[in-house]
């Protein structure tokens, strides 16, 4: 079974631009969550989607948004990029929205804002 | 609200020595606890998790962790480490009040020296 796939793996954007990151969950997984990872800050929860609806949201500004499609694939978008948005963005999937479920991570999308 | 504190940001240890990575959590409700490992340029993968039952949990690669409810701790241990265990380790917590969201600690970098 294929793992969580994230694209692109690496990208460089200019301050003020926007970016869209894509995530394909493991087949059959319906919950997709996104995390931002930066040195010293660990993993910060962005949001979680289940059945095409955002179910949970972290403390990020409205520039960060996402969506989920009917096939459970998800995208996240960051508008008006700032230098501080440079980070590894990790997507994770799990079969259901139960807190004891293992979540399976992709390898992440490295975003550099210059 | 949940929180996770990993008490050591960096742990250097010699090969074949024992190691303990410390994790304390805070939550007002019953929790599920996880340890994940991240190798360079990869996503996170599950080492072990505590859901209920026996407080000693065994995971992959010879790691184990003990849940201590009175001390709100979930420390990770390995009796003899290998060079290949060099990685970043994350403790995480989830509960039913925030299904779909896991809260992670800031990570502990384990460096195994020959």
Identify the residue among B23, B29, B44 best suited for mutation to test binding to A, counting A beta carbons within 10 A and taking the highest. B44
SS3 for chain A is CCCCEEECCEEEECCCCCEEEEEECCCCCCEEEEEEEECCCEEEEEEEEECCEEEEECCCCCCEEEEECCCCCEEEEECCCCHHHCEEEEEEEECCCCCCCCCEECCCEEEEEC
Q: How would residue B4 be classed by pLDDT, with cut points 50, 70 and 90?
A: very high
Q: How would residue B95 be classed by pLDDT, with cut points 50, 70 and 90?
A: confident
Contact (CB, 8 A) for B31 and B49: no
Residue with tokens 């999308």: A109
Contacts of B44 in chain A (CB under 8 A): 43, 90, 92, 105
Residue A1: pLDDT above 80?
no
Query: Across residues A74-80, what is the average pLDDT?
Result: 98
Query: Across residues A38-46, what is the average pLDDT?
Result: 88
Q: Do B95 and A99 touch (CB under 8 A)?
A: yes
Per-residue model confidence as pLDDT tens digits over B49-86: 999 888 999 999 999 999 999 999 999 999 999 999 99
Per-residue model confidence as pLDDT tens digits over A9-24: 999 999 999 999 999 9
């Amino acid at each position: 079974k294929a793992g969580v796939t994230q694209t692109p793996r690496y990208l460089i954007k200019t301050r003020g631009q926007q970016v869209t990151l894509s995530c394909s969950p493991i087949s059959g997984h319906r919950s997709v969550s996104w995390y931002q990872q930066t040195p010293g800050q660990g993993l910060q929860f962005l949001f979680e989607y289940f059945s095409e609806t955002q179910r949970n949201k972290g403390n990020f500004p409205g520039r960060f948004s996402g969506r989920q499609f009917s096939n459970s694939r998800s995208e996240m978008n960051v508008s008006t990029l700032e230098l501080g948005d440079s980070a590894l963005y990790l997507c994770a999937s799990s079969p259901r929205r139960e807190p004891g479920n293992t979540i399976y991570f992709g390898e992440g999308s490295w975003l550099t804002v210059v | 609200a949940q929180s996770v504190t990993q008490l050591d940001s960096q742990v250097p240890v010699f090969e074949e020595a024992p190691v303990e990575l410390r994790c304390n959590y805070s939550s007002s409700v019953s929790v599920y606890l996880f340890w994940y490992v991240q190798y360079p340029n990869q996503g996170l993968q599950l080492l072990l998790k505590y859901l209920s039952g026996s407080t000693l949990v065994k995971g992959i690669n010879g790691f184990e962790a003990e849940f201590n409810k009175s001390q709100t701790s979930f420390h990770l241990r390995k009796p003899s480490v290998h060079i290949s265990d060099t990685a970043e380790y994350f403790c995480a917590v989830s509960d039913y009040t925030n299904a779909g969201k896991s809260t992670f600690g800031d990570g502990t970098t384990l460096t195994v020296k020959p």
